[in-house]
Amino acid sequence: MQASDVTTGSVFQTPPEGVDGELLERINRWWRAAKYLAVGMIYLQDNPLLQEPLRPEHIKNRLLGHWGSSPGQAFIWAHANRLIRQRDLDMIYLSGPGHGAPGVLGPTYLDGSYSEVYPDKSRDEAGMRRFFKQFSFPGHIGSHCTPETPGSIHEGGELGYVLSHACGAVFDNPDLIALACVGDGEAETGPLATSWHINKFLNPISDGAVLPVLHLNGYKIANPTLLARIPREELASLLRGYGWEPLFVEGSEPMAMHAAMAAAMEEAVGRIQAIQAEARRSGEAQRPHWPMIVLRSPKGWTGPAALGDKKLEGFWRAHQVPLPGPQKDPEQLAMLETWLRSYRPEELFDEHGTLLPELQALSPQGLRRMGSNPHANGGLLRHRLQLPPIESYAVTVDTPGRVEAENTYPLGELLRDAIGLNPDSLRVFGPDETASNRLQAIYEVSKKVWMEDLLPEDSNGSELARSGRVVEMLSEHTLVGMMEGYVLTGRYGFFHTYEAFAHVIASMFNQHAKWLESCNLHAPWRAPIGPWTCLISSTVWRQDHNGFTHQDPGFIDLAGNKSGDVVRVYMPPDANSLLAVAEEAMLETNVCNIIVSDKQKHLQYMNLEQARAHVAKGISIVRWASNDDCGTQPDDPDVVMACAGDIPSKETLAAVEILRREIPQLKIRVLNVVKLFALTQPSEHPHGLSDRDFDSLFTTNKPVIFNFHGYPWLIHRLTYRRTNHANLHVRGYKEKGNINTPLELAMNNQIDRFNLVIDVIDRVPSLGSRAAHVKEQMKDAILANRAYAHQHGMDAPEVTNWRWTPPQA
C-alpha cells in the first residue's frame, strides 16, 4: 500500500492530522456495511441481516448486477463523507463505471437519503429486504445508477461521459466539487480520453472543481484495462500531460488503504481549495494543475478470492456476479455466506436492521449528504429561463419572399440578451463554429472561455476570455457532456453543430432522451430540468465544398424513435420563425429539442406575428402563395405542395411561382411544416395534429408533393396512418451528392423547383398540352442549370437571386 504524489515524490503512509485509528476503524466498518449491502442486493431476496443461516430460498432466482467496482466506489464515498463533514463541502458524486451501482446505492441507503425518497425502503430489516430484492429485479431498478438513484446525475449505461458531465455540473457553481469516479474500462473510450481536457475550460474563480478518481481495478468484462497495465510512470506522465496532478493510492490491505485514501483526499481537496482561494483573492484566473487521485485496488475487492482454480478477486471474473450459482451449489452457498458474514453485519446494524448510530454519524447531514445534494436533482435549483422579448430581433418582412437574411443571426442576438438576463445559468456549446454559424452577436456580451495561454493576436478576432459563456472544443462528445451536466444541475444549455456530425453524439442523445423518459415514468421526485437543445445549422443542402461526407440529415430519424413526450423537432424556414421556435423550445422542460436551420442567407417569409402563429400550429397554409380557397370553402385544391425546412421551402415556392404563371388554372395549396411531429398522430406526439385537422390541410384525396429537408422515408413513417397517405409523394435527400452548387444538389435529389413542377404535372390529371410543354421546359432548365454550374462554378444569377413574385391573379 502506498499513496504517493509522483509529482513531488511524497508518499502518504499516515493519515492526515485529526484522523485517528478509531475514526479509520469506524470508516472501515461503514465501508463494510456498504459492501454488505452491495452483496446483499446482488444476491438476497430474504434474510437480509443473516439472522438465520443462509438457505437457497434466500437467494434470488436470477443473479444480475456488478460487484467488480462496487467496493472501490463505496470506498471513495466513505472518504468523501469524512471530508464533507470536516470541511462542510458541497460535493456530488458521479459514478463513471455506472454498472457498479451497488457501490452507490448502498451509501445512499446508509446516509438515509434512499429511505427518504423511497419510504418503503426503510432503515430496518423489512426495508432492507425490499432494498435488496428490488435491485436488478423485474419491474424495479437497474444495475446502473439509473435516474431512480438519489444523488446521481450520471447513469453510466453508455460509458465515457463522467468527466464532461462533472465539468458541466461545476460550471458556474463555484463552491461545488464534483467527485467523478472514472472507470478504467470507461477510460479507454474516446469521449473519456479527450474529456480530461475539461481543465482547459474550468475557471477557478467562477466555477467549481472536478476531482477525478481514476479507479484502476484492472479489468473490464474479460480483459485487463489498458491504463492499469502500463507502468505507473507512464500513467503519471499521461495524466500530467492532460494537465492534472495525480495522487496515487494503491494497494489492497484495507486499513492501510484507508489511511492513504484519507491523506490523498485531504491533500486533493486542500489543493483545490488553495487554488480557488488564491485565484479568488488575486482575481486572476490561470489554469491550475488540478489534483486528481488514482485509486488502484483489486477488482471485486474483499470478495471471494477464487472459485475452484478460477481467480476471482483482483481478476476480471469479479466483474459481475463472482459466485454464479449459490442457489444450487451448496459450496457456493457456503462461500457466499462466509463472504457476507466477513463484513460482520451484527457489528454494523442493530437487531432491527438499522445502521448503528456511530456509523450513521459518519454521514454528512441533510443536503450535504451526497445522496441528497440538490445539485443532483437540479430541477430543484432551476430558475425559469429569462428570455427577452423577441420583437427587437425580428427581421422586417413587408412582403414575403423578397428579402434575404441570415436566419441564425437574430437567434444569436436573442442568445446574447438571454445570456445577459441569465448570466450564470445559460451557456452555448459548439465545436468551433459559433461565428461560422452566425451566432457571433453573443460575443458582444460574452466570449469563449479559454484557460490556456493567450497570445497578442488573440485580441484581434479570437474572442477568447477567461470567463465566457461560449464553450468551443473540437469534441462534440465533451461539449454535449458538459451541456448535459449543466442542464442536469438546473441550468440551461444550447448546443449547435454540423448536421452530418450530429451522428457523433447520437448515442448521447439516445441516452439523455431515455434518462428523461425514465424520470417521467420512474423518478417523479426529480424536478423538471431545462431542455437539451441542439441547433443543426450547417445542413445537408449547403455543403458546397465539404461535399458528400457532410450530407446526412439522418439524425432526426433517430429522434423519431424516442418517446414523443421528450423529443421535439423544429424546421423553421426563416429568421422570424426560428426566433419563435426558440422562444417556445427554450422554455420547455424535460425535452430534447432539435432545431434545423441553415446559417446562410435565406429568403424571409413571415413577420413575427405570423411566425408565432405558425409555430403555434405546427403546420400552416401559406396563404400568399396558394391560389386555392385556403380552406374557406369546401372545395379542395388540385394539388397540395407541402414543405419542411428552409431550402425545400424556397424550392417549393419557386415551383409554385412557375406553376401559377404557366398553368394558372391549377389550384395549388401550399403548406409549411415547422413542427415535424405535427405530421403524426396526437397519440404519438403532443405536437401531432388530429386526423380531422390533418385532413383539412392535406385533403383526403388530392396529390400532395412534400418537399422535405431530410431523408424522404421519415415523412412516410410519420404519416402512413393518415387518410391521404397514398397520394403523398415525398422528395428529400437521397444520397445523391458531391461537390455541387446549391441548385445542383437540389436537382440531384429532385427537391428543386423544376423537378417539383414535373412532379405536379405528372400527378395532377387533365392539365392538358400546356402542361406537357412546361414539363419539357423544366427538363431543359435542369440541363441548362447544370451546364451553367459546371461552367461557372456557381448557380446562374436568376436562380441565386430568385425572389417570390406574386403571380398575376
Residues 300-319 that bind a second copy (CB under 8 A): 309-311, 314-317
Least CB distance from residue 358 to a second copy, whole Å?
A: 35
The burial of 776, by beta-carbon neighbours within 10 Å (0-12 exposed, 13-18 middle, 19 or more buried), is given as exposed
Does the protein bind a second copy through residue 160 (CB under 8 A)?
yes
Chain residues 393-422 in contact with a second copy, contact rule CB under 8 A: none
User: What is the C-alpha to C-alpha distance for residues 26 and 464, in angstroms, rounded to an integer?
Assistant: 49
Amino acid type, 260: A
Does the protein bind a second copy through residue 723 (CB under 8 A)?
no
Does the protein bind a second copy through residue 191 (CB under 8 A)?
yes
Closest CA to 183 of 206, 209, 157, 207: 157
Does the protein bind a second copy through residue 45 (CB under 8 A)?
yes
- Residue 112 C-alpha cell reads as 438515509
Least CB distance from residue 62 to a second copy, whole Å?
A: 5
Does the protein bind a second copy through residue 525 (CB under 8 A)?
no
Does the protein bind a second copy through residue 157 (CB under 8 A)?
yes
Does the protein bind a second copy through residue 221 (CB under 8 A)?
yes
Does the protein bind a second copy through residue 64 (CB under 8 A)?
yes
Least CB distance from residue 717 to a second copy, whole Å?
A: 4
Does the protein bind a second copy through residue 82 (CB under 8 A)?
no
Contact 707, 643 (CB under 8 A): yes
Phi/psi at 494 (5° precision): -145, 115
User: Any alpha helices (H) in 283-407, and if so which ranges?
Assistant: 330-341, 357-360
229, 368, 601, 763: which one binds a second copy (CB under 8 A):
229
Residue range at the interface with a second copy (CB under 8 A); choices 58-66, 368-376, 627-635, 658-666:
58-66
149, 373, 475, 489: which one binds a second copy (CB under 8 A):
475
473, 529, 569, 697: which one binds a second copy (CB under 8 A):
473
Does the protein bind a second copy through residue 794 (CB under 8 A)?
yes
Does the protein bind a second copy through residue 347 (CB under 8 A)?
no
Least CB distance from residue 518 to a second copy, whole Å?
A: 6
Sheet with strand 492-498: strands edge to edge: 464-465, 448-449, 470-472, 426-430, 492-498, 532-538, 592-596, 567-570
Nearer to a second copy, 478 or 576 (CB): 478
Amino acid type, 38: A
Least CB distance from residue 715 to a second copy, whole Å?
A: 9
Closest CA to 506 of 550, 546, 561, 428: 561
Does the protein bind a second copy through residue 222 (CB under 8 A)?
yes
User: What is the C-alpha to C-alpha distance for residues 168 and 485, in angstroms, rounded to an integer?
Assistant: 4
User: What is the C-alpha to C-alpha distance for residues 237 and 240, in angstroms, rounded to an integer?
Assistant: 5
Closest CA to 436 of 542, 573, 537, 551: 537
Nearer to a second copy, 77 or 135 (CB): 135
Does the protein bind a second copy through residue 141 (CB under 8 A)?
yes
User: What is the C-alpha to C-alpha distance for residues 494 and 416, in angstroms, rounded to an integer?
Assistant: 12
Chain residues 425-444 in contact with a second copy, contact rule CB under 8 A: 432-436
- Total residues binding a second copy (CB under 8 A): 130
Does the protein bind a second copy through residue 58 (CB under 8 A)?
no
195, 203, 408, 537: which one binds a second copy (CB under 8 A):
195
Rounded to the nearest angstrom, the gap between the alpha carbon of residue 228 and the centroid of all alpha carbons in its chain is 29
Residue range at the interface with a second copy (CB under 8 A); choices 156-164, 271-279, 393-401, 589-597:
156-164
Reduced 3-state DSSP string for 266-314:
HHHHHHHHHHHHHHHHHCCCCCCCCEEEEEECCCCCCCCCEECCEECCC
Residues in the chain, total: 809
Least CB distance from residue 577 to a second copy, whole Å?
A: 26
- Residue 580 C-alpha cell reads as 419563435
- Cα 692 to Cα 379, 678, 706: the distances in Å are 37, 13, 19
Longest dimension (CA), the chain: 99
- Residue 696 C-alpha cell reads as 383539412
Does the protein bind a second copy through residue 140 (CB under 8 A)?
yes
Does the protein bind a second copy through residue 720 (CB under 8 A)?
yes
Does the protein bind a second copy through residue 142 (CB under 8 A)?
yes
Chain residues 237-276 in contact with a second copy, contact rule CB under 8 A: 237-243
Does the protein bind a second copy through residue 143 (CB under 8 A)?
yes
Does the protein bind a second copy through residue 235 (CB under 8 A)?
yes
Does the protein bind a second copy through residue 554 (CB under 8 A)?
yes
86, 360, 520, 546: which one binds a second copy (CB under 8 A):
546
Does the protein bind a second copy through residue 686 (CB under 8 A)?
no
User: What is the C-alpha to C-alpha distance for residues 537 and 581, in angstroms, rounded to an integer?
Assistant: 14
Least CB distance from residue 129 to a second copy, whole Å?
A: 14
Closest CA to 569 of 707, 673, 466: 673
Residue range at the interface with a second copy (CB under 8 A); choices 11-19, 83-91, 132-140, 627-635:
132-140
Least CB distance from residue 363 to a second copy, whole Å?
A: 28
Nearer to a second copy, 101 or 529 (CB): 101
Sign of CA dihedral 657, 659, 661, 664: negative
Closest CA to 475 of 121, 193, 60: 193
Chain residues 166-185 in contact with a second copy, contact rule CB under 8 A: 185
Does the protein bind a second copy through residue 197 (CB under 8 A)?
yes
User: What is the C-alpha to C-alpha distance for residues 303 and 301, in angstroms, rounded to an integer?
Assistant: 5
User: What is the C-alpha to C-alpha distance for residues 703 and 706, in angstroms, rounded to an integer?
Assistant: 10
Q: What pairing do the DSSP bridges indicate for beta strands 245-250 and 2-5?
A: antiparallel
Least CB distance from residue 236 to a second copy, whole Å?
A: 7
- Residue 461 C-alpha cell reads as 478576432
Chain residues 479-508 in contact with a second copy, contact rule CB under 8 A: 500-501, 503-504, 506-507
Does the protein bind a second copy through residue 16 (CB under 8 A)?
no
Closest CA to 512 of 553, 557, 567: 567
Does the protein bind a second copy through residue 332 (CB under 8 A)?
no
User: What is the C-alpha to C-alpha distance for residues 419 and 401, in angstroms, rounded to an integer?
Assistant: 31
Residue range at the interface with a second copy (CB under 8 A); choices 121-129, 230-238, 269-277, 634-642:
230-238
Nearer to a second copy, 112 or 314 (CB): 314
Chain residues 700-719 in contact with a second copy, contact rule CB under 8 A: 711, 713-714, 716-717
Does the protein bind a second copy through residue 356 (CB under 8 A)?
no
Residue range at the interface with a second copy (CB under 8 A); choices 57-65, 79-87, 642-650, 693-701:
57-65
Least CB distance from residue 254 to a second copy, whole Å?
A: 22
Nearer to a second copy, 191 or 637 (CB): 191
Between vectors from CA 535 to CA 532 and to CA 540, what angle results, nearest 5°? 135
- Residue 262 C-alpha cell reads as 484519507
- Residue 203 C-alpha cell reads as 475557471
Does the protein bind a second copy through residue 511 (CB under 8 A)?
yes
Chain residues 581-640 in contact with a second copy, contact rule CB under 8 A: none
**224 beta partners:** 219
Residue range at the interface with a second copy (CB under 8 A); choices 49-57, 578-586, 595-603, 784-792:
784-792
Does the protein bind a second copy through residue 522 (CB under 8 A)?
yes
User: What is the C-alpha to C-alpha distance for residues 549 and 340, in angstroms, rounded to an integer?
Assistant: 56
Chain residues 737-756 in contact with a second copy, contact rule CB under 8 A: 738-741, 744
Nearer to a second copy, 62 or 352 (CB): 62
User: What is the C-alpha to C-alpha distance for residues 153 and 515, in angstroms, rounded to an integer?
Assistant: 10
The DSSP H or E segment spanning 771 is helix 768-792
273, 467, 563, 681: which one binds a second copy (CB under 8 A):
563
User: What is the C-alpha to C-alpha distance for residues 524 and 147, in angstroms, rounded to an integer?
Assistant: 10
